[in-house]
Amino acid sequence: MTALLRACRSHRPSQVQTSVLTWGWQSALSCGSFGPLGSHGASFQQVRCAGKRSRTGRLQHFRFGMDKAKGKRYYRFHKIVGKWNWRKYTERFIAPRSVENRQRFMPTPSPTYTQALHSHSWKWRLPRGLAEATTPDQVLEEWVKFRHKQPKKMYHFFQVLKRLADVGGCDPTDWRLKLVIRRLAPYYRRVLNLPRLAKYFAELKIFSEMESLSRFLYPMLPRYTSQQLCLTAHAFGVARLQDKRILLEVARLLEPRLAEVSPTDLVRLVQAFSNTEVCHYTFLTRISAQVQVRVQQASEGSAPVGATPTFQHLVEIAEGFATLKLQDYSYLELCSYQTAHLLREGRWGPTPPTLAALCSACSQLKVTDIRLFESVLKHVSQHWYDYPASAMAEIGSAVAPAVPKPMKSDFVKEAYKHMFSVIKADCDMLSLRDIARAARFMAEVQHKQRQAAPGVEQALSTQLIALRNETQECFDVGRVVEVFAYRRPEDSSLFSCLCRHMHRHLAMFEPVDFVRFSRGLSKTTYRDDRVVNALSKWAAKRAAEFSIFDWERFTVALAALGADARRVEKMRQLAPETPPALLEKSTATQERIQSACV
């Protein structure tokens, strides 16, 4: 063995194809000097001829060789490739120098013009693809196609979000949309136009990101312009997120600068406060005063260009006030005068939907403006062919409780005749909310004049049954049941449909709705134990909201619907307690009555 090693050292390494020891034991084996090597032959193959300091004999090659793993031999420096072993593998790797190994990789060849053009082409192919996309899937697929291209600028994210909002939005849980948001989220602090980004998030219903974005909005609000402040409030109004800190800060910053706010932004401010149900009456009253000043300036001919609100703007502000229950009589009087003047002069502005919305706002605020209602009814009787059935139903439900009886006024009778004819003819175009308004209108008129709406009941009930599977729209189902219970008590299919709608409205019911629905259904021949169970269960949860009188009427109606005696007794035990002041007052009244009788 010593002679063999001397022979190996005397041999020049440059003339050896494999390792020296491999050559040595192979030659010795051919001469018959060695016996069988067994498994040590593969280990001998990994030994290098040079010293441990040379490049061909690095310490790593002596330290690491073959090892066993899962019953097979594999090469330590390499990942597992294939299913075979490394028993006959010959190491030919020469480890580079340490300094050379740590240098940064710099490609030596430079790209050609065509290659560089293709590499940068995504910068105009992505915007073009987003502009050509007409569906949310096309927009998201166009972004995914170029998702690996870096670095993307901020306007690329704004382009894809804007296009998604323009084509109608997408599912907020889509993984492709989450990919866009995940790449954008680390750069919220660097976004200059955060209100615009918040608006896109609101339109796409990404509410969780709006909450994350709000902490970056707080310190930036004092630096924003009036338009950006209005856009911030508008974004939270569209999303219906009640962030009182942001809205109150926007109101504080805009209050001294209302004169420079455009009419559209004034409407957006009112709608933002109404959608989020933030009752900042001081700020809303200042907006109302600002609008009245601008209308006065327009009537005098001294209004700045673009500062005068349109009739549509006036009506939208009135709707916001009605939602927040803000009775601003001066503003409503302004709207009434403007409506009467524009209708009398035949000028541009009032449309059937806006007139219906204005009448509905006055009705919600309990403002009985007979002059406004009569001017609208006169216009309806003259131009009934321009009014859709939905506008007729909304106007009728708002106007009928306030105007005189039809038999005492000829023009009111004529207007009602045209309105019912339009509703009956176009009943198949009514939604559930429109049907509820038409039913209230019909009930109010028939209460004053029995034969005022022939055939309307049948048309409305047919449309209600046709909308049996509608699950999105909310309407006053308790009032509808009460109206039809006295007119079509034997129509089981109609009340089955209304009971189906009732289950998805129970979470929004008020005490008066529980009483109306149960009392109206008890007047019919339709019975359903599931309805009794649901009504009693939800009413028991909210028993504290009922008055004593309403709870008594509700339990009587449940008994009439077929509830068992045990359930009725349990519901009566849940009756709210009589307030002490009311109890003392009733006791004093009874004593006074008894003393008077004596």
ω into residue 151 within 30 of 0, thus cis? yes
Please tell me the predicted confidence (pLDDT) of residue 448: 53
Please tell me the predicted confidence (pLDDT) of residue 82: 59
What's the average model confidence in pLDDT over 306-312?
A: 93
Residue 595 clears pLDDT 60, i.e. is over it: yes
What six digits make up the tokens of 1? Answer: 């063995």
Instruction: Work out the burial of residue 560: count CB atoms within 10 Å of its CB; fewer than 13 is exposed, 13-18 middle, 19 or more buried.
Output: middle
pLDDT in tens, 267-308: 999 999 999 999 999 999 999 999 999 999 999 988 888 899
The proportion of the chain whose per-residue pLDDT surpasses 70, expressed as a percent, equals 79
Residue 200 clears pLDDT 80, i.e. is over it: yes
**pLDDT class for 259, splitting at 50, 70, 90?**
very high
The proportion of the chain whose per-residue pLDDT surpasses 90, expressed as a percent, equals 64
Helix (H) or strand (E) holding 138: helix 136-145
CB 266 within 8 A of CB 287: yes
Please tell me the predicted confidence (pLDDT) of residue 498: 94
Mean pLDDT of the chain: 84
What six digits make up the tokens of 494? Answer: 């109609």
pLDDT in tens, 206-221: 999 999 999 999 999 9
CB 13 within 8 A of CB 51: no
**SS3 per residue for 323-388:** HHCCCCHHHHHHHHHHHHHHHHHCCCCCCHHHHHHHHHHHHHCCCCCHHHHHHHHHHHHHCHHHCC
Please tell me the predicted confidence (pLDDT) of residue 9: 46
Residue 359 clears pLDDT 50, i.e. is over it: yes
CB 538 within 8 A of CB 506: yes
Please tell me the predicted confidence (pLDDT) of residue 67: 46
Please tell me the predicted confidence (pLDDT) of residue 14: 42
What's the average model confidence in pLDDT over 180-195?
A: 94
Instruction: Tell me the C-alpha distance between 417 and 415, whole Å.
Output: 5
Count of C-beta atoms within a 10 Å radius of residue 598? 5
pLDDT in tens, 416-459: 999 999 999 999 999 999 999 999 999 988 875 556 667 888 99
Instruction: Tell me the C-alpha distance between 251 and 236, whole Å.
Output: 14
Helix (H) or strand (E) holding 320: helix 311-324
pLDDT in tens, 50-85: 555 555 554 544 455 544 455 555 455 555 555 666
Please tell me the predicted confidence (pLDDT) of residue 102: 73
Residue 17 clears pLDDT 50, i.e. is over it: no
pLDDT in tens, 524-559: 999 999 999 999 999 999 998 999 899 999 999 999
Rg (Cα) of the chain, in Å, rounded? 41
**pLDDT class for 22, splitting at 50, 70, 90?**
very low
Look at the alpha carbons of 112, 118, 122, 128 in this order and tell me if their dihedral is positive or negative: positive
What six digits make up the tokens of 52? Answer: 């441990």
Global model pTM greater than 0.85: no
Instruction: Tell me the C-alpha distance between 92 and 430, whole Å.
Output: 83
Instruction: Tell me the C-alpha distance between 71 and 298, whole Å.
Output: 93
